[in-house]
Amino acid sequence: MKRTLMTAAAVGAITFGLAACATDGMSAEAARETARDAAFAADVAEASARASSGEAHPATPAGATAFVADAETRLAALSEEAARIQWTRATNITHDTMWLESRINAEYTELQVELANGAARFNEVQVPADVRRKLNLLRLGIVLPAPNRPGAASELAEITTRLDSTYATGKFEFKGRQITLDEATILMAESRDPAELEALYEGWRTVSPVMAADYARMVEIANEGSRELGFADTGAMWRAGYDMEPDAFAAETDRLWEQVKPFYENLHCYVRNRLNAKYGDEIQPDTGPIRADLLGNMWSQQWGNIYDVVAPTTGGESSYDLTQLLVSKGYDAEKMVRTGENFYVSMGLDPLPQTFWERSMITRPEGREVVCHASAWDLDNLEDIRIKMCTQVNGDDFYTVHHELGHNYYQRAYKDQPFLFKNGANDGFHEAIGDFVGLSALTPTYLNQIGLLDTVPGEEEDIPFLLKMALDKIA
């Protein structure tokens, strides 16, 4: 792929050079012929635009079906190119890969917006259920829609690529040296020094101020694009992707939160009390909010790393620590991923393709900047599935490996579906599959079955196990 891109760039440069030289001394006839060619090319482009926007497809059931088929063909063709460029940038962040990604993302966004607007022509047409769902997905499947005006998609793509790259390559000074986010994350999990935790927490947040203006502009552009598609804003568009109206989805999340809220409040109160016992009133008062940097996580979103601090004073001891088990059994990053693969194979699914092992980024490479945030990729909508992680040998990443492979196995299971049906049923469905498997992979029974844990603890360790789960999943 690298060679193809470089060759294309070189050919383009040569072509432009020849065109410039030829124009300098062309005859009047040659100039007229060139003008006719340009006019013809413009007519072709206009006709192509009319066809792809839906004007070539009448507002009938047959027209809608033909429009959807054409849209899927175009999206499938461009999505692979986009995915391969996005992968290249995520695993090797340079000026050039950022340039390439922003260009392809702009092109893909423009296509999505064009097709979303074209799909609206069939809103009142009676069509089969599968066609209706595809038309809806064309409208709802854009994460950040750009408005339909010149330059908007390019500006949005440049901003999102720049934001992601700035975040991924961010570093800050800690104890006299520059550290990365993944280094800071490990230190946050392990340190019990309040001053050190504060320095790590606030140090990472020195990376983001330069992103503020870009982020605000990104939201402004995306909201403008969402309004053009008929939504109040981008949030309303995202909430519309769950087979209910946006307001109904918001009401459902409020209902679910009210169910969990008493549990969360009790957990919050308990953890605050244990932190107060550990650090005292000056560091963590026994009332009010919890100091965010004391919770063992850079974003305070999972609290399981501080189990040793908040464990009950009686009956809270756990006979094992997953990170220590992994280290003592000689696990490395690849062995963790192969263990995750074996989980899925044990359920009757096929092993991962050899290309997965050849092309995935399982650990942070040396000598180049990458996006370490764990993600699962399907580059060709068929078999080229991969994960991208800066895997550490610890319990958190053992869970994450099983979670990310859930995405890959879901992608592979849907590879023979029409293009618009290859994704999850909604934005949360993929995550639910990953979490289901990830939670299963943390059970003592599973750890015993794969040889990590010699003996499954008795019911006396139910409370420690359940408290660990609550700290990560209810907090």
Distances (CA, A) of 424 to 77, 281, 347: 20, 47, 20
* C-beta contacts of 206-211 below 8 A and 24+ residues apart: 206/172, 207/166, 207/167, 207/170, 207/171, 207/172, 208/167, 208/170, 210/166, 211/163, 211/166, 211/167
DSSP class of 361:
B
Residue 27 in this model has a pLDDT that exceeds 60:
no
pLDDT surpasses 70 at 19 = no
- Per-residue pLDDT, 55: 56
Q: What digits encode the pLDDT tens for the residues 189-234?
A: 999 999 999 999 999 999 999 999 999 999 999 999 999 999 999 9
Q: Give percent above pLDDT 70 in the chain.
A: 88
Does residue 268 have a pLDDT over 80? Answer: yes
Residues linked to residue 378 through DSSP beta bridges, in sequence order = 385
Q: What's the pLDDT at 56? A: 80
Q: What is the CA radius of gyration of the chain?
A: 26
Contacts of 391 (CB under 8 A, 6+ apart): 333, 336, 337, 362, 363, 397, 400, 401
Instruction: Give me the pLDDT at residue 425, please.
Output: 86
Q: How far apart are the C-alpha atoms of 86 and 99, rounded to whole Å?
A: 11
CB 396 within 8 A of CB 322: no
More confident residue, 49 or 221: 221
Q: What is the mean pLDDT of residues 146-173?
A: 96
Q: Could you count the other beta carbons within 10 Å of the beta carbon of residue 308?
A: 12
> 291: which DSSP letter?
P
In this predicted model, what pLDDT tens digit does every residue of 282-338 receive, in sequence order?
999 999 999 999 999 999 999 999 999 999 988 878 889 999 999 999 999 999 999
Residue 170 has pLDDT above 70, yes or no: yes
Average pLDDT, the chain: 89
pLDDT at 18: 28
For 444-460, the pLDDT digits (tens) are: 999 999 999 999 999 99
Q: Look up residue 295 and give its amino acid.
A: L
Identify which has the larger pLDDT, 475 or 52: 475
**Which tens digits make up the pLDDT trace of 55-109?**
589 999 999 999 999 999 999 999 999 999 999 999 999 999 999 999 999 999 9
d(CA 112, CA 125): 21
User: Tell me, what's the pLDDT at 64?
Assistant: 96
- Residue 11 pLDDT: 28
- Overall average pLDDT of the 369-390 stretch: 96
pLDDT tens figures, 108-140: 999 999 999 999 999 999 999 999 999 999 999
Look at residue 427 in the predicted model and tell me its pLDDT.
Answer: 82
User: CA-to-CA distance for 303 and 475, rounded, in angstroms?
Assistant: 7
Q: Residue 153: CA atoms inside 13 Å, Cβ hemisphere, count?
A: 19
CA–CA distances in Å: residue 257 to residues 187, 251, 262, 466, 467: 32, 10, 9, 20, 19
Please give the average per-residue pLDDT across 435-452, as a whole number: 95
Q: Do 249 and 242 meet the contact criterion of CB atoms below 8 Å apart?
A: yes
pTM, to two decimals: 0.83
Contact 313, 321 (CB under 8 A): no
